[in-house]
Structure 1
C-alpha cells in the first residue's frame, strides 16, 4: 500500500513540475499540439494529457480535442493547444522620451488592450509612473480579466537589486531614481494584484522578440535598437537575459564609432547613442526636427518616403556605416548567432540590407568566417510585451503557486 501511495505521489509531483515547462512551450508557440508537447517534455502521452488538462483548468490554455484534419492526412489529429483568449493578463507599462503607454498583455505575447500614451514626461518619475499605472488600472477594470502582475519598461539601465534608474539620459529624471520601488508602490496603491517588476526597455524588447518574434530559436541573440532617443542593446543567452552582475550589461549605445563625432551625454564623443539615433539621422539629412511628432516617427517617415532624396540617402548610408562598425565590434566580442535590429535601425536595415551586412562582415572576424544573420524586429510594442513577460515569469515558473 505504501509503495502505491509513493508511486502516486511521485507521478503527481512529476506532473506538477511539468506544468511550467509545458505552459512556456504553449506560450512561445513551440507546442501547438499535444503530440508536440509530449515530445518536447519527454513524458508519456497520458502525462502530457494530464498536464494540458490542468493548465486548461487553471484558465491558461485551450485544448481543442476535435481539430480538423489536414487534407490528405491519415489517422486522428492530435489535440491542438493554444493560449486562452479570455485568460489572465499582465499589466505592461512603458515610459520613453516622448511619453508613455499602458497595455494589457495575455499569454503568447498577445496585446489585449492599449491606452493612448501621453506626449510629455515630466522630471518627476513618481508623477509619470503614477499616471501610467492609473491608465493600466482603468484598462484592467474595463476588461474584467484576472491580473497576474505588472511590468514597467524604462529608457535607462536599471541597477539590481536596488531597482534604480542609473542613466535616464533622454528624460529629465534624476540619476538613481528608485523606479522599481515607485512602480511597486503605485501598483499596490492602484489595487492591481500580483508582483511588480521593472527593466530596461531594450532588454525587454529583446526578451519579447526571443519568445515571440524575430529572435525565436536563437541561442545567443543580440538586439540593438534605437528608442525615441539614443541606442540600446541586449543579449539573450539560452532563453534568459544576460544583464551582468548588477543589471548594467550591454550598454552598447556608448561604443565609440566616430572618434571625431558628436559629444555624447556620457561624456565621450562619437558614441552609437548620438551617431545612429533618430536625431542624428534628421541632422545628417539636413531636416529640422519638428515638435509635433516623436523624433523616431519623423526619422522613420523621412527614410520611407524620401529615400531617393540625395541628402536623405547620404544620411542613411552614413548611419548604416557607423551602425555596421558598432555591430562588427559586438560580433567580435559576443559571437552571437543572430542579430535583430529595432526602431530606426530596423528601418535602416530595410533601406539597404546589403550595405549593412557587408560592413559587419568586412569589419568583424567572425563575420568573415561565417555570416551572422541580421534581421528586423517583428513585434509591435515589443518593449511593452517584454515588460509583461516579467510579470508572466512567475506563472511560467510555477503556475499552481502563482495562481493560488
Structure 2
C-alpha cells in the first residue's frame, strides 16, 4: 500500500472516531458552529467539515453553509450546526407514584411529542409498562419518525446488572420487579427498534440537567430532588453518572436529618425521604392533600401562592433547615463543584435561597468557603429527557454502528 492510500485511510479512521464526540458536542449545545467543532475536537478544518457532513448525511444534524455574519463581526462566518427537526427520536417513558407518561425526544433534549399522562399506576408493572409503551408507539405512528431506542425512568433504585426495581416504595409494585426485562419485552412487542434501558428517575434528572440544563459545564455535579413522593440524589462525574458497583449509589433519601422524626419506609427514622418531600411539606403546613392533583403540584402551588401564610412559611423553613443539613453532609463527603435541586426542593430554594445556602454554609466545610453554587434545575420533564439520554447514548458513542 502506498503512502497516499495509508494517509487517506488514516484520515477516514480519524474522522469516524470523531463522529461520536462531534455529535455529543452538537447534542449538548457546545458546538454551535463548525469552527467551534474544529477547536473542540482538535482536528483540522477539513476533518471537522467531513465529520459534520457525515452527521448530516445520517440525518442527525443540519449544516448551514451560508450563515449571515453577526453585526460588527469580521472575517468569514463559520457554518452553523443544529439538530434536525425531522431527525430520529427515542421513546422516553416515566412512571411515578401519581401516574405515567410517554414522550418522543430528539437530539438536543428536545421533546417532540408527548402522550396524555395517566394518573393511575396499577400494581402490575407489566400492565403499566405495556400501556406506557403503547402510548409511545402511538406517538411514533402519528409522527412517522424513526425511533432509535427507548428509555424508562422509575422511582426506585435499579440494581445492576439485572435491571430490577429494588425498592419501588411509593408504587404498589413488588420489590425486585424485573422492570428492564419487562420494558424491553414490551418495546419489542410494539415493534420498536433499538435498545431499551431503565434507570432511577433522579439519576436521569441529573443526567439531563448535566447535558442540557443547570448542570452544564460542571465536572462534579450533585443533584438532589423530590419526586411526587420521596427524595432521591445523583452524582455526575466527568459527564457520566456515578451509580456505584451495582447501580445503588447516592440513595440520599435515607440520610437521617431528624433523629426523632417520622418513620421511614427503609426502616429508619427522620430520613430526607420523609422529612423533605411534598407530603411532609403539606403535613407540616397543616394542609390535607386532595385526590385531584399530584402531591408535588399541590405542595408547589401552596408554596408559591400562600408563602405569606404563617403555617406555610413555618413549614417551608422547617423543610429548608432539614434539607440544608442533608446537603451539608453530602457536600462534605462528595465535594461537588455544583449542586442542583429539583421538584419541591427547587421551589424551597427559590422561596428562600439565602436561608438554604446559609444552612449549607454553616454546616459544611466546603460550603463555608462559598465555592459550591446551589442552583435550581431548569428543564421541564427532566426525567423523560434523562430517560431519552440513556437511549441516545449508543448513538453518541458510535453513530455509524447505531444507525446504519
Q: TM exceeds 0.5?
A: yes
Q: How does 1:275-294 map to 2 (within 5 A)?
A: 275-294=275-294
Report SS of the residue matched to 1:232.
Answer: strand
Residue in structure 1 matched with residue 106 of structure 2 by the alignment: 106
Q: Distance in 2 between matches of 1:384 and 1:47?
A: 34
| Deviations 1:267-304 (CA, angstroms, capped at 9, x unpaired) | 00000000000000000000000011000000000000
Residue in structure 1 matched with residue 349 of structure 2 by the alignment: 349
TM-score (norm 1): 0.99
The gaps in structure 1 that reach 5 residues or longer are: none
8 Å CA contact retained: 1:95, 1:101 = yes
RMSD over aligned Cα, in angstroms?
A: 0.6
Report SS of the residue matched to 2:224.
Answer: strand
Q: Distance in 1 between matches of 2:140 and 2:391?
A: 15
Residue in structure 2 matched with residue 43 of structure 1 by the alignment: 43
Q: Distance in 2 between matches of 1:71 and 1:8?
A: 39
Residue in structure 2 matched with residue 378 of structure 1 by the alignment: 378
Q: Distance in 2 between matches of 1:132 and 1:7?
A: 50
Residue in structure 1 matched with residue 93 of structure 2 by the alignment: 93
Structure 1 residue 368: Cα displacement: 1.4
Structure 1 residue 6: Cα displacement: 1.5
Residue in structure 2 matched with residue 235 of structure 1 by the alignment: 235
Q: Distance in 2 between matches of 1:167 and 1:83?
A: 38
Give the 4+ runs in structure 1 shifted more than 6 A: none
Structure 1 residue 4: Cα displacement: 1.9
Q: Distance in 2 between matches of 1:7 and 1:305?
A: 66
Structure 1 residue 7: Cα displacement: 1.4
Q: Distance in 1 between matches of 2:70 and 2:186?
A: 50
Report SS of the residue matched to 2:222.
Answer: strand
| Deviations 1:168-215 (CA, angstroms, capped at 9, x unpaired) | 010010000000000000000000010000000000010000000000
| Deviations 1:201-230 (CA, angstroms, capped at 9, x unpaired) | 000010000000000000000000000000
TM-score (norm 2): 0.99
Structure 1 residue 66: Cα displacement: 0.9
Q: Distance in 1 between matches of 2:306 and 2:361?
A: 28
Residue in structure 1 matched with residue 390 of structure 2 by the alignment: 390
8 Å CA contact retained: 1:328, 1:360 = yes
8 Å CA contact retained: 2:225, 2:231 = yes
| Deviations 1:292-341 (CA, angstroms, capped at 9, x unpaired) | 10000000000000000000000000000000000000001000000000
Report SS of the residue matched to 2:148.
Answer: strand
Structure 1 residue 370: Cα displacement: 3.2
8 Å CA contact retained: 1:153, 1:387 = yes
Report SS of the residue matched to 1:217.
Answer: coil
Residue in structure 2 matched with residue 131 of structure 1 by the alignment: 131
Report SS of the residue matched to 1:182.
Answer: helix
8 Å CA contact retained: 1:361, 1:371 = no
Residue in structure 2 matched with residue 25 of structure 1 by the alignment: 25
Q: How does 1:312-391 map to 2 (within 5 A)?
A: 312-391=312-391
8 Å CA contact retained: 1:235, 1:241 = yes
Residue 255 of structure 2 corresponds to residue 269 of structure 1: no
Report SS of the residue matched to 1:288.
Answer: coil
Structure 1 residue 145: Cα displacement: 0.6
| Deviations 1:119-156 (CA, angstroms, capped at 9, x unpaired) | 11011000000000000000011110111100000000
Q: Distance in 2 between matches of 1:368 and 1:398?
A: 43
Residue in structure 1 matched with residue 157 of structure 2 by the alignment: 157
Q: How does 1:242-257 map to 2 (within 5 A)?
A: 242-257=242-257
Aligned pair count reads 404
Q: Distance in 2 between matches of 1:2 and 1:399?
A: 30
Structure 1 residue 369: Cα displacement: 2.4
8 Å CA contact retained: 2:337, 2:371 = no
Structure 1 residue 400: Cα displacement: 0.3
| Deviations 1:14-50 (CA, angstroms, capped at 9, x unpaired) | 0000000000000000000000000000000000000
